[in-house]
Amino acid sequence: MKSYSIALIPGDGIGSDVTAAAWTVLETVAGNFGFALTGTEFPWSCKFFKDTGRMMPQDGIETLRGFDAILLGAVGWPAEVPDSVSLHGLLLPIRKAFVQYANIRPHRLLPGVTGPLRAENFDILCIRENTEGEYSGAGGRVHQGTLDEVAVETSIFTRAGVERILRFGFEQARARRGKLASVTKSNAQKYSMVFWDEITRKLAADYPDIEVTSYHVDALAARMIMAPESLDVVVASNLFGDILTDIGAAIQGGLGYAASANINPGRSAPSMFEPVHGSAPDIAHLGIANPIAAIWSGAMMLDHLGEKAAADRVIKGVEAATARGIGTIPGKDRTEAITAAVVAALT
Ligand code: IPM
Ligand code: MN
């Protein structure tokens, strides 16, 4: 029997609630489809930081490297550890170290879910550059705490980094409806973003079948709200993609439905799958977190592992549950009830 080794990092807050739910669904579907998932749980989190002074052990990255994939819940407990410390100690280093340069986030309404827009028939796939750009971490502060203080944070865009994410976007568009929106702010940022636009035009020659349009990020943000049906694949830099995918989450009914995959397309290291919502400290461990984003992320993991039929089955299960109104009204159904409804719909 085929078997996949999965590193489970529930992390903080509702991360453990939703990871447990997703795991239940994944184990069930694995059983039904005749493959095995073996999960190894790592307690890396802000609690781990309080105990050890680190978000993960020094050899954490090397430990994870041997797994087929990573399923992560959420990172952050700002009351105890500043987000800038916790995220740079766990989530962001994994994305970079494992060259998970493509962050994929689907935005569409599940059946039974009411979004805030009149539009209902949108199906957008956001591809966010995930290893460089505005998140490069290049910068510093001098004269700290004085009136002369200076803070510098430099975005880094490399030809290799921009080319590979754009190619990934073109390929995704080819596998979908053939439309690519490439997002920059090249009217204001005249080096990096003009560079991105140039590379978009250059690669377009390799993909004559794809209808590619360059948008400025402000206009694209408005378009996601005013005309989301007009979009297919959207490709953007790290920060722009971060912001646009929160809009994507909002128009699909909320963060409870927003799934994501941090993909290493070359498969030189494991990819990581995580819901977009954070740790939500206010509802942690109350049993009311919506596990759908985590379950959907788990389906994306199965797809990446080559178990597409099982992945599709999980999505169908989620859709069957939401079509019956389960998990569609914030706070109405408990995490366990939503999970049970998805599991029941798997067979
Ligand atoms: C996300 C999150 C992270 C990001 C934070 C927590 C660092 O907002 O995955 O969208 O900005 O990448
Ligand atoms: Mn975000």
Residue 209 CA to ligand 2 centre (angstroms): 31
Please check whether residue 263 is in contact with residue 103, taking contact to mean a CB–CB distance below 8 angstroms. yes
Ligand showing the shortest atom-to-Cα distance for residue 82: 1
Q: Give the mean pLDDT of 6-11.
A: 98
For residue 182, give the amino acid letter. S
| Dihedral sign for Cα atoms in the order 335, 259, 274, 311 | positive
Q: Is 242 in the pocket of ligand 1 (CB under 6 A)?
A: yes
3-class state of residue 49 by DSSP: helix
Closest-CA residue, ligand 1 atom 4, reads 242
- Class of residue 189 by CB neighbours under 10 A (exposed 0-12, middle 13-18, buried 19+): middle
Nearest-atom number in ligand 1 for the CA of 278 is: 6
Rounded-to-integer distance, Cα 81 and Cα 47, Å: 9
Which CATH number does 1-100+261-347 carry?
3.40.718.10
Q: Is 85 in the pocket of ligand 1 (CB under 6 A)?
A: no
* Structure tokens given for 52: 């050890």
Q: Give the mean pLDDT of 94-100.
A: 98
Residue 126 CA to ligand 1 centre (angstroms): 14
Nearest-atom number in ligand 1 for the CA of 75 is: 6
Give the predicted TM-score (pTM) of the model.
Answer: 0.97
Q: For the chain, give every domain's residue range.
A: 1-100+261-347, 116-251
Please give the share of the chain, as a percent, with pLDDT higher than 70.
100
Closest-CA residue, ligand 1 atom 6, reads 87
Q: What is the third-level CATH fold of 116-251? A: Isopropylmalate Dehydrogenase (3.40.718)
For the chain, the farthest-separated pair of C-alpha atoms sits apart, in whole angstroms, at: 65
Q: Is 132 in the pocket of ligand 1 (CB under 6 A)?
A: no
- Supply the mean pLDDT for the chain: 98
The pLDDT, as a whole number, for residue 238 is 98
Nearest-atom number in ligand 1 for the CA of 91 is: 7
Q: Give the mean pLDDT of 305-311.
A: 98
Closest-CA residue, ligand 1 atom 5, reads 87
The pLDDT, as a whole number, for residue 297 is 99
Q: Give the mean pLDDT of 19-26.
A: 98
Q: How many residues does the chain have?
A: 347
Nearest-atom number in ligand 1 for the CA of 274 is: 9
Q: Is 276 in the pocket of ligand 1 (CB under 6 A)?
A: yes
Q: Give the mean pLDDT of 6-34.
A: 98
Residue 242 CA to ligand 1 centre (angstroms): 7
The pLDDT, as a whole number, for residue 143 is 98
pLDDT (tens digit, 9 = 90+) per residue, 208-239? 999 999 999 999 999 999 999 999 999 999 99
Active site positions, annotated: 135, 185, 218, 242, 246
Residue 81 CA to ligand 1 centre (angstroms): 16
1-100+261-347 and 116-251 share one fold = yes
Q: Is 134 in the pocket of ligand 1 (CB under 6 A)?
A: no
Q: Is 188 left (phi over 0), alpha (psi -120 to 50) or beta?
A: alpha
Confidence band, pLDDT 50/70/90 cuts, at residue 308 = very high
Ligand showing the shortest atom-to-Cα distance for residue 275: 1
The pLDDT, as a whole number, for residue 28 is 98
pLDDT (tens digit, 9 = 90+) per residue, 239-288? 999 999 999 999 999 999 999 999 999 999 999 999 999 999 999 999 99
Residue 242 CA to ligand 2 centre (angstroms): 5
Confidence band, pLDDT 50/70/90 cuts, at residue 347 = confident
pLDDT (tens digit, 9 = 90+) per residue, 113-158? 999 999 999 999 999 999 999 999 999 999 999 999 999 999 999 9
